């Protein structure tokens, strides 16, 4: 991991109050923020301080050598009028597109920082659609009373007709599939929710100490940045907030994320590198990433790679993290058509509790839904023998991933490896891992996997399920003694499987026809 330089900010400081800002929670301070930043930028940069108070404002744009510093009890609340956020060229979900200007942004800037002990609030409730089943009766009545419009079936609240049009006129998740002109995009202006903090093509960036909350969409989106330091921040959104990812680090190089907390409605810490052909054409991997001493309390995934990873992800270390109440703990997701290689990943010293689905998930059949949504719709069971498709630039790959020292209490399934028949999940090591789950681990279409010193305690069913695996080694695997079936093997493409365990033998295994001769059992009783 190369050294990650922090921004160099000149020893020069102004307060937004000096430029007419009023912290009464009512006065719109957009002009004052811009004037303070412009004043320092003209002098070569410096620190813009935000003192105690509630500072209501429209979009803030940072420039070279500028630090936005929130003092104790400083609260920035962004204006919730979509008309004040014009459409701009940007990227979202790995694609080049038009979306509303972000409340806080920098583009092509060098040496920028957002620091302090205050709070930045994106006023996101005014932007986001909400499904009826996500709210209590009281919350739903309050939402209806606030204005907006309902979906035709009455099950979804939209902030405006413009939003409803965008949501129902055809989109690839949140990116329109039909709009080609600015006029097309303007028809759905309110649907094009901005990420709260957008940092594009910036160099030497620091986010430190601040709480970011209630974003219209993703909370923090650094894209194509070099030398990013994130330390001791808090990111919060309601659990019903759609697409409220904590931080999405896209095609960035040299990144350190430490001692931070995430409690959001979507993925917590997410690594991306562009989507499909656009991402492959950009060709900028996300690389040299350190994530350490972080906590994710809620979200679809704790630490996540994908699903937009067409430019590749490599050289990542994740350590000393806690995931509590997330859908998935370690979540790797992609699908056919993406392309891109995820490789050289080291993960160690991870503790988890109350994981709704899997602590470890590698899924190359990702379908655009959370793991819980996919399970509810019956979409998490792998077919036994799918036919491989041709391998080309659109085929994604997960390989060279090393995981050790993982503890999880409470999950639906202990692990799920779901590779493609034509591109297996390959070269994965899991060691010194202890998981208590409703069901055991399923490893599907995977090659060169090692499970070493792994303990899985399922409430029911086999502890380990294998389907079309090759060159798999299980060493010192432990599970309850009284399991009627400890191992289940399905599929016709299994080969070179070695099970070293005093808890698993041919006698307590259920083997598909033709697989017995491809599996070696070694009793490790000492």
3-state secondary structure of 290: strand
Q: Is the CB of residue 232 less than 8 Å from the CB of residue 257?
A: no
Using only the alpha carbons of the chain, give its radius of gyration: 24
CA proximity to 305, closest of 264, 271, 279, 277: 271
The burial class, CB within 10 Å (0-12 / 13-18 / 19+), for 240 is middle
Contacts of 9 (CB under 8 A, 6+ apart): 45, 46, 47, 65, 66, 67, 111, 113
CA proximity to 114, closest of 78, 86, 57, 76: 76
Report the alpha-carbon distance of residue 63 to residue 50 in Å, rounded.
16
Backbone phi, psi, residue 43, to 5°: -100, 5
3-state secondary structure 294-310: CEEEEEEEEEEECCCEC
3-state secondary structure 381-413: CCCCCCCCCCCCCCCCEEEEEEEEEEEEECCCE
Judge whether 266 counts as a catalytic residue. Answer: yes
Catalytic annotation, pick one of 111, 263, 266, 276: 266
Catalytic annotation, pick one of 189, 200, 221, 300: 300
> Angle 311-382-174 (CA atoms, 0-180°, nearest 5)?
45
The residue whose two tokens read 């930028």 is 41
Active site residues: 266, 300
């Amino acid at each position: 991991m190369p050294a990650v330089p922090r921004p160099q900010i000149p020893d020069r400081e102004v307060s937004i109050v000096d430029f007419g800002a009023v912290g009464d929670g009512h006065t719109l301070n957009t002009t004052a923020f811009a004037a303070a930043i412009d004043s320092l930028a003209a002098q070569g940069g410096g620190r813009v301080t935000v003192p105690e108070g509630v500072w209501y404002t429209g979009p803030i744009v940072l420039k070279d050598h500028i630090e936005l510093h929130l003092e104790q009890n400083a609260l920035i609340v962004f204006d919730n009028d979509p008309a004040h956020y014009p459409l701009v060229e940007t990227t979202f979900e790995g694609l080049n597109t038009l979306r509303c200007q972000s409340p806080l942004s920098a583009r092509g800037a060098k040496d920028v920082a957002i620091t302090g002990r205050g709070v930045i609030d994106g006023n996101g409730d005014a932007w986001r659609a909400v499904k009826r089943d996500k709210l209590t009766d009281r919350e739903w009545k309050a939402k209806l009373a606030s204005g907006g419009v309902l979906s035709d079936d009455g099950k979804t609240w939209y902030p405006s007709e413009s939003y409803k049009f965008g949501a129902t006129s055809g989109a690839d998740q949140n990116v329109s599939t039909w709009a080609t002109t600015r006029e097309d995009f303007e028809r759905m202006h309110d649907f094009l929710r901005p990420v709260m903090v957008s940092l594009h093509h910036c160099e030497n960036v620091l986010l430190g100490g601040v709480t970011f909350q209630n974003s219209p969409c993703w909370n923090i989106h650094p894209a194509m940045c070099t030398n990013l330091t994130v330390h001791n921040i808090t990111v919060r959104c309601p659990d019903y907030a759609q697409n409220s990812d904590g931080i999405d680090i896209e095609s960035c190089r040299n990144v350190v994320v430490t001692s931070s907390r995430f409690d959001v409605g979507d993925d917590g810490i997410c690594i991306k590198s562009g989507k499909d052909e656009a991402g492959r054409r950009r060709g900028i991997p996300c690389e040299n990433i350190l994530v350490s001493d972080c906590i994710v309390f809620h979200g679809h995934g704790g630490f996540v790679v994908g699903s937009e990873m067409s430019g590749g992800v490599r050289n990542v270390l994740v350590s000393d993290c806690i995931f509590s109440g997330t859908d998935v703990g370690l979540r790797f997701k992609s699908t056919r058509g993406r392309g891109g290689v995820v490789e050289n990943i080291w993960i160690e010293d991870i503790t988890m509790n109350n994981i709704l689905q899997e602590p470890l998930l590698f899924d190359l059949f990702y379908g655009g839904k959370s793991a819980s949504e996919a399970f509810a719709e019956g979409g998490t069971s792998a077919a036994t023998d799918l036919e491989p498709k041709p391998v080309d630039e659109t085929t994604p790959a997960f390989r060279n991933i090393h995981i050790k020292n993982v503890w999880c209490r409470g999950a639906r399934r202990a692990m799920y490896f779901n590779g493609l028949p034509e591109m297996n999940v390959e070269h994965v090591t899991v060691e010194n891992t202890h998981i208590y789950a409703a069901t055991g681990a399923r490893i599907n279409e995977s090659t060169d996997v090692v499970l070493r010193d792994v303990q899985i305690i399922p409430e029911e069913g086999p502890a380990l399920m294998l389907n079309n695996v090759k060159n798999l080694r299980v060493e010192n695997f432990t599970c309850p003694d009284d399991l009627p079936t400890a191992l289940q093997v399905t599929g016709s493409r299994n080969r070179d499987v070695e099970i070293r365990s005093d808890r698993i033998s041919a006698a307590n295994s259920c083997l598909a026809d033709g697989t017995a001769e491809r599996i070696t059992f070694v009793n490790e009783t000492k």
